[in-house]
Structure 1
Amino acid sequence: MNARVDGAFGVCMQSALDEVGVWVPQWMTALNEGLRQRESSASSFNEKQVYLQSRTVLANYKTRISSRFVEELSEVIHGVQSVEVAEPEARKVQTLSLDDLELMDHDQVQGTVEMARVQQIVRMAVDEELVAFTARLCAARGMSAVKTDTNPLRPDVVVEALSRVLGSLHLDESVRTRWLHSGAVPLGKALQQFYASLTHLLERLGVQPAGYSVVQAPTPRSTAAQVQAANTEPGRTESVPVSSVPSTSDEDPVLTLDHLHQLLQGNLDNGGDAVTDQGTSGSGNAMVRTLAAEVVTLMMRRMAEDTRLLRTVRDLVQGIKPVLLQVARTNPRFFADRENPARRLLDAISSQGLAFTNEQDPGYSEYAELTGRVIGALKLAKVDLPERIGAALQRYMAQIKAQPSRRQGLAMETLAKVEQRNLLAERVAGEMRARNDYPRAPGVVRRFLTGPWAQVVAHARLDLSATRVDPNAGSRYMDILADLLWSSQLAQASRNRARLIRVASVVLRTLREGLDSIDYPREASEAFFQALMGLHEAAYRTQRSDADDRSLDSRLPSVDAGLWMHASEAKESGFMEDAFILEQPVFEDTQPMSRDGLPEEASALVTSMDQLHPGAWFDLREDQNLTRCQLTWSSPHGTLFLFTGPGQRSISLTQRGAERMIALGRLRVVADHGLVQDALDAVARQALLSSGQA
């Protein structure tokens, strides 16, 4: 990023800070005027009193609301003013999920709907100015393509800030609702002028707008507003297909958030004939089935458009839709129950499908055959469908687990043993550092002891099998330390050459024996032995001082003290060495890739070790290739991670290796939880959007 762009972004954010302090009080005045107009046009005395009360309460809280609103927005701006990072993390707008909705009460649902309506009104008012401002702001941040969610001042952020401010006040809900109704249009006008002013500023600073990437949508029935409002994810480039959210047609019933909430809570009347009522009688039971069927339809439509799955996998997944619609007739809430066999089967099928990026990938044909067979059998079932689904799920999971169990089990067992040995080696290294003669030894010796030799001692202590040739090796390898540390100190060893002659050969022989016991590569330790023999020779030839010790130590080679494992262990676990990672190229193109002619669902760079949890799917960069893999296991102490790639190939990383991969931008999250949950969350957001437009 050049200095001119850095400076433009900083100037823009500072100007935004100044302008926020001006337009927020002006908006409060406009809100008060809007309430006054509604009061004067009210058709009844009671309605006039309602708006009079709202104005009176606003007068009492005006100063507090204005100052807190300015503080909230200023905090957002301050959070992105660092120009050291190309994409500072802005505060994220909370997105509605099905789990959130299930935990809400009726008032919270209504408040969420009201906020959605305000957001919709504001977005419509600022659409043109927002597009122009975001394009120039992204360019000022050094981006070549527009990413709307990196705009920290987008309307949803502003409305969320206002929501937090109003939520912190002890107000009657009806008063808050009237403020939102009366203030939405003035807020849109204020933001319209705000964005236009900042756009002109960036234009005067010479910042040219970044480009918008346009992708042809395979399903044109959804609107751009629906994409932005219903399925926005932080950091996504504007190359998202329109079909990335559930679309609705004129024939689709409109699912509102209130209806979905009542369905989840089981609050709808269950009257009506359970057998003959097909959803047309108007009874409560008919409404329940109609809503449940609509949820299933929208959920499956979302999964059909999820390009993280191969097109052929999506076709397989769609085959189960008739089965789910039949389940919804007798169990309308099945999709909200994570333990329901029907949902678990859909989860398993879609999750396993994430493993494949090509139909030629190892294991794809077996997956497709198994999945097709299970779904086909369920579609033919006429009776006892819930029981049949449960049995099908058990068979499906049993066959899935049977395929990789042996290889994965060996890799996990190997890595668990490696972690145990390395943790013990750290304790052994601590014992060595605690010795009185350890600090006086040359650095090359100290590094050798706390690195390879600690591994030798740890291996000897753990290997307690009855077939051991030398059960006392562990103690011998520690006993040799006294002679090794003494002989490496020139000032000490040169004063007792007789002892040096006596112990030197024993020390060297024991060290080589210990390293051979763990198959430590000879070439990796040769530099250390050359240095140690040089120390012995120098001590034998002439008497040295402590100053000579320090001078020689500065010229001795270093020894890598990082995590180490046997060659056989590395092979069994697919170990990727830390040093190898640094030699590989990083992600040069951070735009979503394409597959099957459709845009890839935008994956996100991993930014924290907290995102590495078993079950999540990742794209991992190796050389110039991306490997789709699942994190299947992390060691008990979090020092080793096992990924499973195509054909059940194992890839293991140390904690340091994983951190380097993250720092180099070579790990991307494909899915950190189930695709079914993603689809259901999109349904909830679609219901919210429909409610806001009602």
Structure 2
Amino acid sequence: MSGTTQQPQYQSLYRACIKDAAVAGAELMQATLSRALRELPGTAARVSDVVDRNLLLEAAGVLKEQQQALTGAFPQALLAEFAQAIAGDRGSSLSFDSLQLLGDEQLQENADLVHGARELEAAVRPQLEKLEATLAAAGLTPAGGMHRHPLRPEVYVRSIYRLARQSPVSPAVRRRWLRYLPPLMAEELAQSYAAMAQRLQPAAAASQEDGLVGMDDGVPQEARDQATQLTIRELRKLLSAQSADDANESVVIFSESDFSHTVPSALEMVQDMRKVDQLLLQLRQRQAAMPGRGRDSLESFREALRQEAKRPSQALGLEVVHLMVDNLSADPRLLPGVRGIVRDLEPALLRLALVDPRFFSDREHPARQVLEQITQRSLAWSSADDPGFGTFMDVLQQATDALLDAGGTGPESFEIALHALQEAWDEAQPRGRRNRERAVRALMRAEQRNLLAERLARQILERPDAASAPPEALAFLTGPWAQVMAQARLADTTGAEDPWGYGWVVQTVLWSVQPPLAARVAAHQRTLVARIDEGLSSIDHLPADTDRWQNLLSALRDLALSTATGSALRPADHEPPPERVNTWLAPLEMHESGFVPDSAIPLGAPASQPDTLPPQELEVGAYVDLQGDGWERWQLTWASPHGLLFMFTHASGSTRSMTRRKLNGMLGQGSLRLVSAHPVVDGALDAVARAAWRNSSSL
């Protein structure tokens, strides 16, 4: 997370502000469109170019036609962009990896988007700064820094972009909407920011009283942007390993790599051991002659490599690496020791950028994988004092030292380091790997059985003789007994429709608890009790819960018989049935997967209740903090194919699993909070791309 300590009660208030901001989107858009329809004709009259003037008038005319539809759809667009911003902006068109896929029209639209965001931000800056100061004071600074909060002007402009993309309008009209609408939103958005800051002020005051201090990553975004003159077009050419100046020459990959020169000759020399000394001498000479070798500072090393760059694409590559490392070194989610390792790797990455532009475009490049493995694995610990982090850092430091000592500039040295790291980490946690494999097997088995049980439960409820059955009897049949029937079918290899004849229990129970039918099956009560015991034991049902179900069903049968014969016996007292949950796991499955049970579901509720997906759309690989006795760091390492079950793994190798319902509940209560939904390296490169967008829009 960020450097703040986030409080659940403040998070709830913040989420309410975000939700209300989305709901207020209709009024915001209505006011914006009304202002646009008043002002755009006058703006068009001042445009000297007749084509641009007519296109702006056309955009205003279409805006008037679409006014009602745009107003009604804007809250949903806002909500979608808010959710995307909370999840880490990976769906944004401003991501580093998407640049190669953008056409010229999309490039221009994104440049208009960035330009509109800058104009809107400039117009609301006083109110925005007050809101951001309040968020920081309340300890609500998001992961990645204050400039990442979901209410920022860029998100509002992206909502306009989303709406424009969904509307049946021409690209020319869409671009003018993006260019002219954002600034017209400023007045109402400024009022909204002021109201939210006022609403969050008590939380900020309470946080300050508790000694909480809002922290950003310490580096102003504008200062970072000024450190680069990258533009999007240049960045896209770099990703294609070609710049405008390189158009007439092919880029020679690894032409300056130590390994590309040395390894072939080494293969020949090892055949003659007398030449080993000669080989070592050549290696030392090459390393000593490398650019920047022996310099006292990282800045002088960078300058030496800039002098070594012979093509614009090489200079751009050096700049991207430098900015990427800067972003990673400022990421508050990385512990100080890890940030130091990343900074130590910068010289090797800079040397690589000179000769191998594939680093930027190939996600599987060994150097990018090394950087990603280091940063992602480090998120498993929230403190340097956590158990296991010291061992992790020892392995990391050794591999880093070996990589730097090798002095290679090609991908081979990074590939060796990657294999060494993976082997060391795998050897350090064999128990954790076995635990995960065992837990996944248990959860896969449970999900398969639960899905089949859910289908069988629906079939039971659709039976004509179930319509008048007591809800307690239906709860048994659609709960544990549906699990019994599902387990029997999964274990059966004969293809029988009703293996073990457990379907007989369904009819017998339904008839035995209804007065008009109870007499027909009264003689089978002893057999029924035995079959229920047998079935529940097949799924390792707890004996105490089995006894409670048996007592409840016996009382229902006695009541039905007494009612049918007119004796009208008072129902016998009995223990309540076991709490019923939507997804059931056997005790062994719960133990093997560290299952966290759901809360109880009322007996009268249907067997299956729809669950919404987690708000952040958690993906496998995401890190979260879970609250127990304190906050602990876990990683989402597995999600079942049908999204029914989720498994988290701790750095110690232990596992914890839960249903989607439980996950949603913990998110809503603030007892589960997202740390990182996507690779840290991707986020650092996306920040480079955003800087390039900003530079492009200012040209």
More displaced 10-residue stretch of structure 1: 367-376 or 316-325: 316-325
C-alpha distance in structure 2 between counterparts of 1:311 and 1:211, whole Å: 32
Deviation per CA, 1:583-634: give whole Å up to 9, x if none.
Answer: xxxxxxxxxxxxxxxxxxxxxxx97367133222222333x53332111112
2:434 pairs, out of 391, 406, 412, with 406
Letter in 2 for 1:417: R
C-alpha distance in structure 1 between counterparts of 2:54 and 2:488, whole Å: 81
C-alpha distance in structure 2 between counterparts of 1:613 and 1:670, whole Å: 12
Q: Indicate the residue corresponding to 1:74 in structure 2.
A: 71
Structure 1 position 257 matched with structure 2 position 232: yes
1:243 pairs, out of 216, 219, 237, with 219
Structure 1 position 576 matched with structure 2 position 596: yes
Would you say the 8 A contact 2:306–2:318 is kept in 1? Answer: no
Q: Indicate the residue corresponding to 1:643 in structure 2.
A: 648
Structure 1 position 266 matched with structure 2 position 272: no
Structure 1 residues 477 and 23: alpha-carbon distance in aligned structure 2, compared to 1, 3 A threshold: closer
Aligned length: 598
Structure 1 position 24 matched with structure 2 position 36: yes
C-alpha distance in structure 2 between counterparts of 1:453 and 1:320, whole Å: 59
Deviation per CA, 1:515-539: give whole Å up to 9, x if none.
Answer: 3343322332333322333345556
Letter in 1 for 2:591: K
- The 5-angstrom pairing of residues 143-542 of structure 1 reads 149-150=150-151, 156=157, 160=161, 168-169=169-170, 171=172, 210=201, 240-243=216-219, 245=221, 247-248=223-224, 252=227, 254-268=229-243, 269-270=245-246, 285-383=310-408, 385-401=410-426, 403=429, 404-429=432-457, 432=460, 437-439=465-467, 441-463=469-491, 474-475=499-500, 477-481=502-506, 483-494=508-519, 500=522, 503-537=524-558
Structure 1 residues 35 and 344: alpha-carbon distance in aligned structure 2, compared to 1, 3 A threshold: same
Letter in 2 for 1:518: I
C-alpha distance in structure 1 between counterparts of 2:564 and 2:193, whole Å: 79
Identity of aligned residues (%): 27
C-alpha distance in structure 2 between counterparts of 1:405 and 1:200, whole Å: 48
The Cα of 1:10 is off from its aligned counterpart by: 12
Structure 1 residues 117 and 461: alpha-carbon distance in aligned structure 2, compared to 1, 3 A threshold: closer
More displaced 10-residue stretch of structure 1: 393-402 or 651-660: 393-402
- The 5-angstrom pairing of residues 506-655 of structure 1 reads 506-537=527-558, 543-544=564-565, 557=576, 560=580, 562-579=582-599, 608=614, 611-622=617-628, 625-655=630-660
Q: Indicate the residue corresponding to 1:120 in structure 2.
A: 118
Structure 1 residues 516 and 683: alpha-carbon distance in aligned structure 2, compared to 1, 3 A threshold: same
Letter in 1 for 2:71: S
The Cα of 1:573 is off from its aligned counterpart by: 0.5
Deviation per CA, 1:4-51: give whole Å up to 9, x if none.
Answer: x99x99998787566435532443244235435xxxxxxxxxxxxxx3
Structure 1 residues 15 and 33: alpha-carbon distance in aligned structure 2, compared to 1, 3 A threshold: same
C-alpha distance in structure 2 between counterparts of 1:356 and 1:379, whole Å: 25
Q: TM-score if structure 2 supplies the norm length?
A: 0.70
The Cα of 1:356 is off from its aligned counterpart by: 0.5
Structure 1 position 688 matched with structure 2 position 664: no
Structure 1 residues 417 and 383: alpha-carbon distance in aligned structure 2, compared to 1, 3 A threshold: same
Would you say the 8 A contact 1:243–1:305 is kept in 2? Answer: yes
C-alpha distance in structure 2 between counterparts of 1:100 and 1:621, whole Å: 36
C-alpha distance in structure 2 between counterparts of 1:212 and 1:535, whole Å: 53
C-alpha distance in structure 2 between counterparts of 1:608 and 1:288, whole Å: 42
More displaced 10-residue stretch of structure 1: 268-277 or 315-324: 268-277
- The 5-angstrom pairing of residues 34-183 of structure 1 reads 34-36=46-48, 51-55=49-53, 58=56, 61=58, 63-64=60-61, 67=64, 74-75=71-72, 94=92, 96-106=94-104, 108-110=106-108, 112-113=110-111, 115-128=113-126, 149-150=150-151, 156=157, 160=161, 168-169=169-170, 171=172
C-alpha distance in structure 1 between counterparts of 2:503 and 2:511, whole Å: 14
Letter in 2 for 1:35: V
Would you say the 8 A contact 1:129–1:192 is kept in 2? Answer: no
Would you say the 8 A contact 1:378–1:385 is kept in 2? Answer: no
Q: TM-score if structure 1 supplies the norm length?
A: 0.71
C-alpha distance in structure 2 between counterparts of 1:450 and 1:112, whole Å: 53
Would you say the 8 A contact 1:490–1:548 is kept in 2? Answer: no
The Cα of 1:331 is off from its aligned counterpart by: 0.4
Letter in 1 for 2:234: H
Q: Secondary structure at the match of 2:652?
A: helix
Structure 1 residues 641 and 104: alpha-carbon distance in aligned structure 2, compared to 1, 3 A threshold: same
Q: Indicate the residue corresponding to 1:45 in structure 2.
A: none
The Cα of 1:411 is off from its aligned counterpart by: 0.6
The Cα of 1:338 is off from its aligned counterpart by: 0.6
The Cα of 1:321 is off from its aligned counterpart by: 1.9
Deviation per CA, 1:109-154: give whole Å up to 9, x if none.
Answer: 355445534543454355346657x69999xxxx999997437898
Letter in 1 for 2:539: I
Structure 1 residues 580 and 668: alpha-carbon distance in aligned structure 2, compared to 1, 3 A threshold: farther
Structure 1 residues 74 and 453: alpha-carbon distance in aligned structure 2, compared to 1, 3 A threshold: closer
C-alpha distance in structure 1 between counterparts of 2:490 and 2:678, whole Å: 38
Letter in 2 for 1:267: Q
Letter in 1 for 2:125: D
Letter in 2 for 1:579: S
Would you say the 8 A contact 1:444–1:556 is kept in 2? Answer: no
C-alpha distance in structure 1 between counterparts of 2:366 and 2:684, whole Å: 17
Structure 1 position 668 matched with structure 2 position 693: no
Q: Secondary structure at the match of 1:647?
A: coil
Would you say the 8 A contact 1:620–1:626 is kept in 2? Answer: yes
C-alpha distance in structure 1 between counterparts of 2:497 and 2:65, whole Å: 71
* More helix as a share of residues: 2
C-alpha distance in structure 2 between counterparts of 1:439 and 1:54, whole Å: 69
C-alpha distance in structure 2 between counterparts of 1:384 and 1:210, whole Å: 53
The Cα of 1:343 is off from its aligned counterpart by: 0.6
Q: Secondary structure at the match of 1:669?
A: strand
The Cα of 1:678 is off from its aligned counterpart by: 0.6
C-alpha distance in structure 2 between counterparts of 1:81 and 1:155, whole Å: 7
Structure 1 residues 424 and 377: alpha-carbon distance in aligned structure 2, compared to 1, 3 A threshold: same
C-alpha distance in structure 2 between counterparts of 1:691 and 1:171, whole Å: 19
The Cα of 1:256 is off from its aligned counterpart by: 2.4
* Aligned Cα root-mean-square deviation (Å): 5.1
C-alpha distance in structure 2 between counterparts of 1:618 and 1:135, whole Å: 24
C-alpha distance in structure 1 between counterparts of 2:396 and 2:369, whole Å: 14
Would you say the 8 A contact 2:548–2:576 is kept in 1? Answer: yes
The Cα of 1:315 is off from its aligned counterpart by: 1.9
Structure 1 residues 367 and 244: alpha-carbon distance in aligned structure 2, compared to 1, 3 A threshold: farther
Would you say the 8 A contact 1:448–1:561 is kept in 2? Answer: no
C-alpha distance in structure 2 between counterparts of 1:682 and 1:106, whole Å: 21
Would you say the 8 A contact 1:136–1:209 is kept in 2? Answer: no
Would you say the 8 A contact 2:555–2:574 is kept in 1? Answer: no
